[in-house]
Structure 1
Amino acid sequence: MTIASGPSQGPRIARGGKAIYGAPLGILMLEARFPRIPGDMGNAGTWPFPVLYRVVRGASPDKVVLKGAAGLLPNFIAAAQELVHLGAEAITTNCGFLSVFQRELATAVGVPVATSSLMQVPWVQAMLPPGKQVGIVTVSAATLTRAHLRDAGVPLDTPVSGTEDGREFFRVLIKAEKDDMDIDLARQDVVDAAINLVERHPSVGAIVLECTNMPPYAAAVRSTTGLPVFDIYSMISWFHAGLRPRTFP
């Protein structure tokens, strides 16, 4: 919505055309029931600005993470178009594995699209000194394919570590074995994956968390590894800053 300036004593005219105002960022959500604690992308209280959500029906974590989101592109396009129709000026998603839909979604909606936290990897790499590289912590290293990396602009030799062997995080989020989650165990799973990453790859100089459910544990990863940590929260905060630049007096 814009407000046109008029004469000093004249009316101010509000310009419409959308259904919802004041929330320029739309988030495409997977269909899931696990807890979304503060810091999780799907918890609206995580964001210091309003956002619009749309659940993509049929897009379970299992189908997206373990089965390559096969057959789900039309569902994501329809949901993204609905968010734009409501008033979203940019679109993101709550699963880093949706990088495979980056080009198609951006083409379909005609607004800026950032499908995956993995898109930060080239930016972070550019900041590191020679001899250092970015490492990725993901919910599922076994199914994070070359296509996921390529479509996010990530070098294919980027080291990756997953949470599949943990006790809680993967089981709750992907296997959907229960609705409740032990937060301490989930945090330890993510931290353990990060420790495994840096032990196997001493050249890692920064970490990008693929999974949008990992930001609650980013501080613990930073504290344990001593490395800079980037996640969907850091990326979307940057993304939103371009949509609504701060106004300085």
Structure 2
Amino acid sequence: MTITQNHNRHPFAGYTIGILAPNLNYEKTLGNVANAETFDFPVLYEVVDIDLELLFQGDESLNETIIAAAQKLEASGVRAIIGACGFFANFQNLLKEAVNIPVFTSSLLQVPLIENSLAPNQKIAVFAANGENIQHALAAAGNTNTDRYVLVDVNQLEEFAPIRYGKKPLDNEALERALSDLAKKTVDSDPSIGAILLECSDLPPYAKAVQEKTDLPVFDFLTLINFVHQAVKQRKY
């Protein structure tokens, strides 16, 4: 019997989205990108054992590790790769040249789409897990219209510390209140804000509360991932 060569065979199947996940030890609530139950479709994780601070900085010493993880996901048969931290944007150009499938490293890649949906005088409030390095990550993702971004450092919230530093239990309800209150304060102080983008992959669980407080469109990692999933796995109507 002749067996037809098939270069797309893999040990397992059914995963369309591959996710690069930093090796961080804290509670992953429903809605978190690192919680597989968040999705209505199977996802495949590849743990990337890297220093988060170096990820924020886009340090080139991480290049080899991140490339290897992305290539492993590609070899496993996923159709697109996502980075489970907005600061993977620092490696967008590196990774898209290292694999042959689409790469969407960061929620920040949605910024041009949001910009084009808003009036020229409207701004995007970007809520980031690290305010010190967010401008660099935005630029790495091709976002240079800095006058249109209102940058908000979520790290200022004490309730975010269990996620950021992993040193005490997460109070999910307290963080939801704190983040939504911060969003309301931010929008009230600048009426030109027309949309909100949650950079951090840990923040989608609070997107609804943020929207209810601000009455604005809220974009996050899940709006990106669901968009990409539909693009690479269309359904028949």
Which TM-score applies when normalising by structure 1? 0.87
Q: How far 1:163 moved relative to its partner?
A: 1.3
Q: Distance in 2 between matches of 1:43 and 1:112?
A: 22
Amino acid of the structure 2 residue aligned with 1:61:
L
Amino acid of the structure 2 residue aligned with 1:192:
D
| CA shift digits 1:3-31 (9 cap, x unpaired) | xxxxxxxxxx9955223211021000011
How many aligned positions are there?
231
Query: Which of the residues 79, 83, 86 maps onto 1:96?
Result: 86
Question: Does the 8 Å CA contact 1:167/1:185 hold for their aligned counterparts?
Answer: no
Amino acid of the structure 2 residue aligned with 1:191:
S
* Alignment partner of 1:37 is 2:26: no
Query: Residues 200, 70 of structure 1: CA spacing in aligned structure 2 closer, same or farther, 3 A cutoff?
Result: farther
Q: Distance in 2 between matches of 1:91 and 1:76?
A: 12
**Alignment match, 1:137:** 127
* Alignment partner of 1:188 is 2:180: no
Alignment map for 1:21-32 (pairs within 5 Å): 21-32=13-24
* Alignment partner of 1:71 is 2:61: yes
**Alignment match, 2:98:** 108
Q: Distance in 2 between matches of 1:101 and 1:201?
A: 32
Alignment map for 1:1-249 (pairs within 5 Å): 16-57=8-49, 59-65=50-56, 67-145=57-135, 147-154=136-143, 155-157=145-147, 158-169=149-160, 171-178=161-168, 180-248=169-237
Query: Residues 142, 201 of structure 1: CA spacing in aligned structure 2 closer, same or farther, 3 A cutoff?
Result: farther
SS at match of 1:125: helix
| CA shift digits 1:102-160 (9 cap, x unpaired) | 01001001210001101111101111234222221111222213x21112222222111
Q: Distance in 2 between matches of 1:160 and 1:20?
A: 42
The RMSD of aligned alpha carbons is 1.8
SS at match of 1:168: helix
| CA shift digits 1:74-110 (9 cap, x unpaired) | 1110011011111112111100011010010010012
Which is higher, the Rg of structure 1 or of structure 2? 1
Q: How far 1:70 moved relative to its partner?
A: 4.8
% identical equivalent positions: 34
Runs of 4 or more consecutive aligned structure 1 residues displaced over 6 Å after TM superposition: none
SS at match of 2:156: coil
